[in-house]
Amino acid sequence: MSPNELPFIRDMFDRIAPRYDFLNRTLSMKRDVAWRKEMARSLYLKKNEPSLVLDVACGTCDVALEILRQTGRLSKVVGLDFSLNMLVLGTEKIASAGARDRVTLLAGNALSLPFGPGLFDAVTIAFGIRNIADKHKALSEFARCMKTGGTLAVLELSTPDNPLFQGLYLFYFKKILPFIGGLFSKNRSAYEYLPDSVLKFPKAQDFALIMEDAGFKDVAWQKMTLGIVTLYTGAKK
């Protein structure tokens, strides 16, 4: 990884933070809400039992809020992100949802988590792992902080397999999305970086192997919305 990569990505998210939620809903035609719901469901957290979940790269806290919606009063979420502007917006959303007592937000780097071993029942990362060059290192960090048997859920954009749909999708992704993203966020380069980073992401079977190597078993993946998003799950060995 180049030494400038982390600050480049952090600054990019700091800049697009004010329009991030709006553009997510618009550019995905609100599918992002359903994808996060499916990810939270994949954790199989029991409603009336206490649980502690870490949401890495939490951004504006949509995942944390969805986990709270699906679980009972006994669940708690720790959200971690290195973009302070994203965290500020997340803090406001958590306060408006009346969930300040159930969510703790921390500024930090996914590659070096400030937690002891075996703390979390589950770890999630939505649309974040793509931005981290050393995926094995990040996944190993997640495994270190998890209880044995705990679920890791990784939600990430992917390229559809069907050649016809792939062509249409890539046209939207490379031409239309940077235009709309640039118009509203005033940061076109961030929305040009997005397709680049998705196209560079490993194929599902290769990413599954990285997960296994980093300390997870029973790794599985599920493609959603014609393959434009993939949800990976695994259990800490």
Ligand X SMILES: C[S@@+](CC[C@H](N)C(=O)[O-])C[C@H]1O[C@@H](n2cnc3c(N)ncnc32)[C@H](O)[C@@H]1O
Judged by the rule CB under 6 A, the positions of this chain that interact with ligand X are: 9-10, 13, 57-59, 62-63, 81-83, 86, 109-111, 126-128, 131-132
Query: Cβ of residue 90: shortest distance to ligand X, in angstroms?
Result: 9
- The neighbouring-strand residues paired with 104 are 78
Q: Which is nearer to ligand X, 74 or 144 (CB)?
A: 144
- The neighbouring-strand residues paired with 118 are none
- The neighbouring-strand residues paired with 52 are 76
Q: Which is nearer to ligand X, 126 or 146 (CB)?
A: 126
Residues with Cβ < 8 Å from 143, sequence gap 6 or more? Answer: 152, 214, 215, 216, 236, 237
Query: CA 224, CA 35: separation in Å to the nearest integer?
Result: 8
In Å, what is the CA distance from 36 to each residue of 39, 114, 166? 5, 25, 23
Query: Cβ of residue 187: shortest distance to ligand X, in angstroms?
Result: 13
Q: Which is nearer to ligand X, 82 or 120 (CB)?
A: 82
Q: Which is nearer to ligand X, 5 or 218 (CB)?
A: 5
Query: Cβ of residue 163: shortest distance to ligand X, in angstroms?
Result: 27
Query: Cβ of residue 87: shortest distance to ligand X, in angstroms?
Result: 8
Q: What 3-state DSSP class applies to 154?
A: strand
